[in-house]
């Protein structure tokens, strides 16, 4: 007699889908394992998309799951974990505060690879910010755009050229909710209708605007098609949509922010929209400006002048003219908000300047970047010296549980017993990393490296098959890399200042290093350049060519289509994380904060966050802080430093083993790295800093 089922197939499907609709699962490994059990092949094929995976499951498979008590019990346990998380007492709730609601605006959010509305570091930082805000219980909501075609899918041709593809994403299958709301966004002399979607990120709602609606004209429907796509005309319209449309969207869904956090200058038009409203309510110009300033937090992310959006006076007048009129601003007054020199009629309108002038609470994203920002924007404040410029810093971090591999989490659970839920900004189980026996810590490192090697082989095989390369290449792909060789990773946006090909400066010397039969080394690269960045794409092509060069082939690989999944695999599997930007062009960087979660070590230029962490025992510095004016000379100096570090320190230390096969000196560095990086450079600490030093002072202004 068949056992009576406790749930029906419809109920099971509905419960799994409901679980997928809150992105808590993106940092909860048991729920991810549950989704993978539905159909492991579909889970991988859909890039770990739970709703799409569920759609691939056959009725027969559903019946099997219904008859599997283990699966049904796991589902119930995952549902309970989500309920307990959402109802649990948080760090912020334990602190008695007056009412505060923070609205966090960002052009991109990297929450998971199944929701590709991000391009790189800015989005990763924004996504991790929301997750830690949820963990801490911070009263925060967020605003962004829902891109139908995302950033772009990167394919690499047989010649190494970048092939840009824009797949259409199905919102019906996305882990999002329809709020039922839409807003009319003023766009010059016309209005654009934008639908408002909601993504639940634990306790934090993220509202995303979508203009792909039938009532909009074709050009307006395309405004939320591509992230960072199109020309400068498209860019200013997207930023109007984010800043002004996002403010309208918050009204539509009933949010009542008391603090507005602008993550980069893209969202600065939000401040002008708020100024317009205050002026229409009868406030004077001075009082309106001061009210906006006191309640606005602005984070600048780039120390490179070209990285700050600038628009012509004609563009600003075309799209903001009516808003300015409502606010009682003349054309000259409007443009002055975005100019360093308000009287220079030839100066373009800069979004960063606008944000600086309308935010009383401004910060860079590392200590060094704060210093650079004060120098860069000294004229905006008419300051006599950089120290007088009111720009502070909050060093970036990462959401640890998002980037933590399950294998490492299991080791932590056994020896450190971290209590993630309810933890505060000072949460630091890694201070006790000495409790993990060297043998287990090293076994974890070897396990993760082997897992990465298998991943690389699988990805290369797929890429080779897609390019139609010979069978011999496919066979060779299954033999590249070794699970025991020192593995160095470089994965990030392929902007030229990051100098991805620097390690190939002296190819013959590098061949000797990677080809040593007794102490082999292997390098894995991944990264995208902007579709319009020809120089960055040339770097991709150069690395691809080096990976196929005699003497490096099989020891150097380039993985295409860098996304969060690739990022997790590389940051968890690599022994050394290489970072060699041109100082001080790296505002912070966050990729190097992830390997230490897994015992990985950093080898980096003293730029971004690394100068705040490096102590001589937890990794390596490249270049010794020496700076040359000539770029060619700087490149040669830094490349030489990399080779010397590899030859004299990194490689010998990795391969120096005791009688049990454990590299004790290397393990000591692993522990030192984990102790100094994992807690201090987490978004748990970062969001805590924002709350204490920026949000609370801005609240109720």
User: pLDDT tens-digit profile of 126-147?
Assistant: 999 999 999 999 999 999 999 9
- For the chain, give the percent of residues with pLDDT over 70: 99
Residue environment code for 357-379, b if the CB has 16+ CB neighbours within 10 A, otherwise e = bbbbbbbbbbbbbbbbbbebbbe
Q: Is the pLDDT of residue 461 over 50?
A: yes
What mean pLDDT is predicted for residues 604-612?
Answer: 97
Radius of gyration of the chain (CA): 26
- For the chain, give the percent of residues with pLDDT over 90: 89
Helix, strand, coil shares of the chain, percent, nearest 5, are 50, 15, 35
* Predicted pLDDT of residue 1: 42
- For residue 525, give the 3-state DSSP assignment: strand
For the chain, the straight-line distance linking the first and the last C-alpha, in angstroms and rounded, comes to 69
Q: Is the pLDDT of residue 301 over 50?
A: yes
Which residues fall within 8 angstroms of residue 215, CB to CB, at 6 or more apart? 193
Q: In whole angstroms, what is the distance from residue 267 CA to residue 273 CA?
A: 11
Q: To which H or E segment does residue 163 belong? A: strand 162-165
* Average pLDDT of every residue of the chain: 95
Q: In whole angstroms, what is the distance from residue 309 CA to residue 601 CA?
A: 35
Closest by CA position to 361, among listed 134, 102, 109 = 102
Q: To which H or E segment does residue 508 belong? A: helix 507-514
The token pair at 141 is 């909501």
Q: Is the pLDDT of residue 6 over 80?
A: no
* Residues 512-551 pLDDT 10s: 999 999 999 999 999 999 998 999 999 999 999 999 999 9
Closest by CA position to 618, among listed 641, 601, 630 = 601
What mean pLDDT is predicted for residues 629-642?
Answer: 96
Q: To which H or E segment does residue 201 belong? A: strand 190-201
What secondary structure letter does DSSP report for 22? Answer: B
The answer to whether 84 touches 22, Cβ cutoff 8 Å, is no
The answer to whether 349 touches 311, Cβ cutoff 8 Å, is yes
- For residue 672, give the 3-state DSSP assignment: helix
Task: Give DSSP secondary structure letters for 26-77.
Answer: GG-HHHHHHHHHH-HHHHHHTTS-HHHHHHH--HHHHHHHHT-HHHHHHHHH
The alpha-helical segments, DSSP class H, found in 216-312 are 218-221, 232-240, 246-252, 269-280, 285-294
Greater pLDDT, 562 or 2: 562
Q: In whole angstroms, what is the distance from residue 246 CA to residue 272 CA?
A: 12
The answer to whether 54 touches 48, Cβ cutoff 8 Å, is no
What mean pLDDT is predicted for residues 2-28?
Answer: 87
What mean pLDDT is predicted for residues 595-620?
Answer: 97
* Predicted pLDDT of residue 267: 97
Q: In whole angstroms, what is the distance from residue 571 CA to residue 404 CA?
A: 9
Task: Give DSSP secondary structure letters for 344-382.
Answer: -TTSPEEHHHHHHHT-SEEEESSHHHHHHHHHHTGGGGT
What is the second-level CATH architecture of the domain 412-681?
Answer: 3-Layer(aba) Sandwich (3.40)
CA geometry: angle 655, 400, 88, nearest 5 deg? 145
* Predicted pLDDT of residue 97: 75
pLDDT band at 625 (very low <50, low <70, confident <90, very high): confident
The token pair at 597 is 């979660």
- What's the CATH number for 102-361+391-396+687-698? 3.40.50.2000
* Residues 370-413 pLDDT 10s: 999 999 999 999 999 999 999 999 999 999 999 999 999 999 99
* Predicted pLDDT of residue 475: 83
What mean pLDDT is predicted for residues 12-32?
Answer: 96
Q: Is the pLDDT of residue 64 over 60?
A: yes
What mean pLDDT is predicted for residues 333-345?
Answer: 94
What secondary structure letter does DSSP report for 120? Answer: S
Q: In whole angstroms, what is the distance from residue 697 CA to residue 78 CA?
A: 38
Q: In whole angstroms, what is the distance from residue 677 CA to residue 351 CA?
A: 33
* Predicted pLDDT of residue 4: 59
* Predicted pLDDT of residue 700: 75
The token pair at 359 is 């935010």
Q: Is the pLDDT of residue 171 over 60?
A: yes
Q: Is the pLDDT of residue 332 over 90?
A: yes
358 CA to centre of own chain: 26
For the chain, the structural domain boundaries read 9-87, 102-361+391-396+687-698, 412-681
Are 102-361+391-396+687-698 and 412-681 in the same CATH fold?
yes
504 CA to centre of own chain: 27
The token pair at 498 is 């990051």
């Amino acid at each position: 007699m068949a056992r009576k089922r406790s749930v029906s197939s419809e109920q099971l499907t509905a419960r799994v889908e409901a679980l997928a609709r809150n992105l808590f699962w993106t940092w909860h490994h048991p729920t991810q394992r549950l989704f993978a059990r539905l159909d492991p092949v579909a889970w991988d094929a859909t890039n770990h998309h739970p709703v799409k995976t569920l759609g691939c499951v056959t009725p027969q498979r559903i019946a099997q799951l219904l008859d599997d008590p283990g699966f049904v019990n796991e589902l119930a346990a995952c549902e309970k974990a989500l309920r307990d998380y959402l109802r649990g007492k948080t760090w912020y709730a334990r602190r008695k505060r007056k009412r505060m609601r923070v609205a966090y605006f960002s052009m991109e959010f990297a929450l998971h690879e199944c929701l590709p509305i991000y391009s790189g570091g800015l989005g990763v930082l924004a996504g991790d910010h929301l997750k830690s805000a949820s963990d801490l219980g911070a009263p925060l909501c967020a605003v962004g755009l829902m891109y139908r075609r995302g950033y772009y899918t990167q394919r690499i041709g047989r010649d190494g050229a970048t092939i840009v593809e824009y797949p259409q994403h199905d919102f019906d299958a996305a882990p999002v909710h329809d709020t039922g709301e839409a807003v009319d966004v003023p766009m010059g002399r016309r209005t654009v209708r934008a639908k408002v979607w909601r993504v639940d990120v634990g306790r934090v709602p993220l509202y995303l605007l979508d203009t792909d609606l039938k009532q909009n004209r074709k050009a307006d429907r395309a405004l939320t098609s591509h992230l960072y796509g199109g020309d400068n005309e498209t860019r200013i319209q997207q930023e109007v949509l984010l800043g002004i449309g996002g403010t309208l969207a918050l009204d539509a869904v009933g949010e009542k922010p008391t603090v507005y956090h602008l993550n980069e200058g893209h969202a600065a038009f939000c401040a002008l929209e708020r100024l317009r409203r205050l002026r229409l309510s009868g406030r004077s110009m001075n009082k309106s400006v001061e009210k906006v300033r006191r309640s606005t937090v602005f984070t600048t992310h780039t120390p490179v002048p070209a990285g700050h959006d600038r628009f012509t006076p004609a563009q600003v007048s075309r799209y903001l003219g009516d808003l300015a009129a409502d606010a009682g601003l003349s054309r000259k007054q409007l443009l002055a908000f975005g100019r360093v020199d308000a009287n220079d009629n030839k100066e373009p309108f800069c979004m960063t300047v606008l944000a600086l002038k309308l935010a009383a609470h401004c910060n860079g994203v590392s200590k060094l970047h704060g210093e650079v920002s004060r120098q860069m924007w000294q004229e905006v404040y008419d300051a006599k010296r950089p120290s007088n410029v009111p720009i502070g810093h909050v060093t970036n971090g990462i959401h640890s549980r998002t980037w933590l591999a399950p294998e490492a989490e299991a080791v932590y659970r056994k020896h450190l017993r971290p209590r993630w839920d309810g933890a505060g900004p000072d949460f630091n189980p890694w201070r006790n990393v000495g409790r993990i026996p060297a043998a287990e810590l090293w076994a974890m490192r070897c396990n993760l490296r082997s897992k990465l090697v298998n991943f690389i082989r699988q990805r290369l095989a797929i890429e080779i098959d897609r390019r139609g390369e010979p069978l011999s290449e496919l066979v060779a792909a299954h033999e590249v890399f070794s699970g025991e060789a020192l593995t160095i990773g470089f994965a990030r946006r392929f902007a030229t200042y990051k100098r991805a090909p620097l390690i190939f400066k002296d190819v013959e010397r590098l061949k000797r290093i990677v080809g040593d039969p007794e102490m082999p080394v292997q390098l894995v690269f991944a990264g995208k350049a902007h579709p319009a960045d020809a120089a960055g794409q040339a770097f991709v092509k150069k690395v691809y060519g080096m990976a196929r060069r005699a003497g490096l082939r099989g020891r150097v690989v380039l993985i295409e289509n860098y996304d969060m999944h690739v990022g997790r695999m590389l940051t968890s599997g690599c022994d050394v994380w290489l970072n060699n930007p041109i100082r001080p062009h790296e505002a912070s960087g966050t990729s190097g904060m992830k390997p230490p979660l897994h015992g990985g070590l950093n080898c980096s230029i003293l730029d971004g966050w690394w100068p705040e962490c490096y102590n001589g025992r937890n990794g390596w510095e490249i270049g010794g802080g020496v700076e040359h004016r000539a770029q060619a000379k700087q490149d040669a100096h830094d490349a030489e430093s990399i080779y010397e570090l590899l030859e004299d320190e990194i490689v010998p230390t990795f391969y120096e083993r005791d009688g049990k096969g454990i590299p004790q000196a290397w393990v000591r560095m692993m522990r030192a790295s984990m102790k100094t990086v994992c807690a201090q450079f987490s978004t748990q600490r970062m969001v805590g800093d924002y709350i204490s030093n920026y949000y609370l002072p801005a609240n109720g202004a």
